Amino acid sequence: MKKLILIFLFFNISLYAQECDYEEYYQLVSLAKKQTDQKDYIQANSNFKKAFLKVDFPLGKDLGYALLVAQKTNDDSLAMEISIKLAKGGVPIRYFTHLYKMSWYKDFKENFKTYTSFFKSNYNQELKDKWIDLILKDRYFNKERYHAHREGKIDISLEELINEASMISKELKGMVNVYGFPHEKQMGYLYIKGQNRISDYPIDIVLRHIYQRGELIFENKEIDNFICAGNLRTKENISQESIGLWYGLGLKNVMTKFYNRYSKY
């Protein structure tokens, strides 16, 4: 009987591991990034290739890293493959201009309108705009309202704090209800123009701020599913250990405690 139970448990653990599509991907990418930082470009190149074979949709920031490694190792084939994938995901031509000496760059540039058309046909620009707008709203509230009150820089009421914080979480919930959890597969890659780089959407930062304000938007199992699907890299920033005493206490409760602790008016 014990033997049967052990076999059953092993089967379920193995099945869960198989369902976590991005688990090996994350491990290989993490190793490749460390090797890149250590200038071990040959091994990094190998592990990036292995990682990209594990999933149907490699993440943009990782592709940016791998493109650098492909240049360092003179892997023109990989550099071209990555560049086309990024271009189809909405990354503008200016990101690629430093590759102009590569043999394939002329054709790549001539075909760029095709890649742009692919992006417009296969990704949701409306969702991307909404998500970026929410990121900016959260950033403004967190810095110019929440922390400004804590630092005694502004006069704001408890009701305003609650309402403005609530608007951000409600907007996120509304997007999730309509589109599902926002991710690169829907929106394309996030290009940061001022820094000429590709970044992760700061989904974990927005969630962290919401969780710090006492709201738990998703069940732990849902978060695990998002990670396994490549929609979120880690839950470290929104764990109970990371958030601390205000984890799960509720928005009004936390905002009231916060307001009373830091109000100087």
Over its length of 265 residues, how does the chain's per-residue pLDDT go in tens digits? 444 344 334 334 443 444 899 999 999 999 999 999 999 999 999 999 999 999 999 999 999 999 999 999 999 999 999 999 999 999 999 999 999 999 999 999 999 999 999 999 999 999 999 999 999 999 999 999 999 999 999 989 999 999 999 999 999 999 999 999 989 999 999 999 999 999 999 999 999 999 999 999 999 999 999 999 999 999 999 999 999 999 999 999 999 999 999 886 5
- To which residue do tokens 């071990």 refer? 40
Residues 257, 142 share a domain:
yes
- Please report which residue ranges of 94-188 form alpha helices under DSSP H: 105-110, 112-122, 125-140, 148-150, 158-179, 184-187
Contact between 130 and 175 under an 8 Å Cβ cutoff? The reply is yes
Residues 173, 60 share a domain:
no
Ranges assigned E (strand) in 138-254 = 190-192, 197-199
pLDDT the model gives residue 148: 95
In 3D, which of 131, 92, 96 has the Cα closest to residue 115?
92
The CA distance from 189 to 161, in Å, is 32
Tokens found for residue 17: 């591991």
Residues 200, 71 share a domain:
no
Based on the structure, what is the number of domains in the chain?
A: 2
Q: Is residue 4 part of a domain?
A: no
Q: Given 76, 97, 121, which residue is the final one in a domain?
A: 121
pLDDT the model gives residue 265: 55
pLDDT the model gives residue 4: 37
Q: Which domain holds residue 191?
A: 124-262
The CA distance from 36 to 9, in Å, is 38
Contact between 161 and 253 under an 8 Å Cβ cutoff? The reply is no
Q: Is residue 180 part of a domain?
A: yes
Q: Is residue 10 part of a domain?
A: no
CA angle 248, 252, 257 (to 5 degrees): 85
Residue 257 identity: K
Q: Given 121, 148, 183, which residue is the final one in a domain?
A: 121
Residues 165, 80 share a domain:
no
Beta pairing, strands 197-199 & 190-192: antiparallel
Residues 133, 91 share a domain:
no
Q: Is residue 5 part of a domain?
A: no
129-to-5, 169, 182, 196 alpha-carbon distances in Å: 50, 17, 11, 19
pLDDT the model gives residue 6: 40
Q: Given 92, 121, 150, which residue is the final one in a domain?
A: 121
Residues 111, 216 share a domain:
no
Q: Is residue 227 part of a domain?
A: yes
Q: Kind and range of the H or E element at 47?
A: helix 41-54
pLDDT the model gives residue 79: 98
Residues 133, 235 share a domain:
yes
In 3D, which of 26, 25, 46 has the Cα closest to residue 35?
46
The CA distance from 21 to 227, in Å, is 9
pLDDT the model gives residue 19: 80
- Whether this prediction's pTM lies above 0.75 is answered by yes
Q: Is residue 255 part of a domain?
A: yes
Q: Is residue 13 part of a domain?
A: no
Q: Is residue 85 part of a domain?
A: yes
Residues 138, 117 share a domain:
no
Q: Give the single-character DSSP code of 116.
A: H
Residues 163, 59 share a domain:
no
Residues 96, 81 share a domain:
yes
